[in-house]
Amino acid sequence: MSDVTSEAPTRRSRFLGGVAPFVSAWLLAFAADGVLSTLDDLSMGLGAFHGLTLLREIVAAIVLAFAVFVALILVFVPQVPKRIFVLPAVYAFWANLWGWPLAATAGQPLSSLPLDFIQIALAALALYQVRKLSGRFLLRATDLPVKTHLVRRTFIALGVVFLGLLVAMPIVGAKLVASAVEEHTGGYIDFTSKGIEAHESVFTKDGKTVRLIGMIHIGEGRFYRDLFASFPSDALVLVEGVSDEKGLLKGKFSYNHIAGALGLAEQSGIQAEWMAKKAGETAQKPAADAAVPQVSNVIRADIDISDFSAKTVDFLREVGELYSAPSIWVAWRRIQSMSDRYTDKDVSAIYVELIDKRNAKLISTFDKNAGGCATVVIPWGAEHMPGIEKALRARGYVFQSRHALNVVEYAALF
């Protein structure tokens, strides 16, 4: 496949006449984003001002949005020199959607500067190449080389796009799911480049402290053990855990199967062991329907399965069967079956019961028992946290701090 690049014609198509300035303008915006990011990170890291943050975010959003079109141009318009634009385009997606491994230190002072410097270096190199090619920082259609075998190149490009989509779709899908979970939990769950983090928030009022800890039902055993061990001995701990005194679920709802498959631990089992130890009992692995040990300053502030509607009980029973599915194909068929039986309205009503109804019980227990306690610890599912926060603020509690807790490292899954 040979190319003819000796002489660029004096007259090119209108399409190339639009493409050339478009990719050039995008490259200039990419460079501006790098400069703004550097100045903003330096000013925030040195405790100066945050005046550039909004402008930086706007420019970054524009660069990322138009990077999609630049990528398509690089694939389908062979006249545009890939050696100039491919690295900035790849960086735009990598830094905004993943950033590993440099994003591992995100949140620390000046931690984003390495990414900023890489962006500026890539922009400077690309602009140097543009100027070397055209004598200016903006490409024109007449600066672009002539390419032959365009039909063959188009078919090759389609193959490249197809393979790229096969790789990108699972990554983008996982990113979208992670973002939805983070938003749904009010930031109490965070998917980082190293693993999954839960967050603990501290609220205070009149010398009293409330620790809200967003929990995940399965995680590394050391996370749960270290967390429970960190609770002050005199603190009031309001734990979650829906009971099933009438055996409506028949012991079918458990995360053990999923946890075991991933090599992780289930929260409820370690929680029950910790409570048994505090109660002075022999630490044994409880049965699925075992009663939670009673400890004087540890209260199960949750409801019973029988407090739910019949539809919610049926839903939980089916979810339990889904979690225990012997294979991913069986699980998929069960998901399809459930989606046929439960409407969006049904799911919304079930969600209200699972979250709001249980939160109401928790807050009622809090109001009844927290009066004489200096410290109250609430380790509940992360989805409950936004509602619990709202209830605490309504009672005059003031947010003080938040920090991350490492629940699962991706390396532990392999």
Confirm if 398 and 204 have CB atoms less than 8 A apart: yes
Residues 6+ apart with CB under 8 A from 224: 265, 267, 270, 271, 274
Q: Does residue 101 have a cis peptide bond before it, meaning omega lies within 30 degrees of 0?
A: yes
Instruction: Of 357, 354, 264, give the one whose Cα is nearest residue 315.
Output: 354
Domain segments of the chain as ranges: 14-147, 189-284+295-412
* Helix/strand/coil (H/E/C) assignment for every residue in the chain: CCCCCCCCCCCCCHHHHHHHHHHHHHHHHHHHHHHHHHHHHHHHHCCCCCCCHHHHHHHHHHHHHHHHHHHHHHHHCCCCCHHHHHHHHHHHHHHHHCCCCHHHHCCCCCCCHHHHHHHHHHHHHHHHHHHHHHCCCCCCHHHCCCCCCHHHHHHHHHHHHHHHHHHHHHHHHHHHHHHHHHHHCCCCEEECCCEEEEEEEEEEECCEEEEEEEECCEECHHHHHHHHHCCCCCCEEEECCCECCCCCCCCCCCCHHHHHHHCCEEHHHHHHHHHHHHCCCCCCCCCCCCCCCCECCEEECCCEHHHCCHHHHHHHHHHHHHHCCCCHHHHHHHHHHHHHHCCHHHHHHHHHHHHHHHHHHHHHHHHHHCCCCCEEEEEEEHHHHHHHHHHHHHCCCEEEEEEEEEEEEHHHHC
Write the pLDDT tens digit of every residue in 277-296. Answer: 877 643 444 444 444 544 56
pLDDT in tens, the chain (414 residues): 444 444 444 456 788 888 889 999 999 999 999 999 888 888 877 765 667 788 888 999 999 999 999 988 888 888 888 889 999 998 998 887 665 555 544 555 566 788 889 999 999 999 999 998 888 888 887 888 777 777 777 787 778 778 877 877 887 788 788 888 888 899 899 988 788 999 999 999 999 999 999 999 999 999 999 999 999 988 999 999 898 888 888 766 778 878 887 888 888 888 888 888 877 643 444 444 444 544 568 999 999 999 999 999 999 988 888 888 888 888 888 888 888 888 889 989 999 999 999 999 999 999 999 988 999 999 999 999 999 999 999 999 999 999 999 999 888 877
Alpha-carbon distance of 201 to 364, in angstroms, equals 20
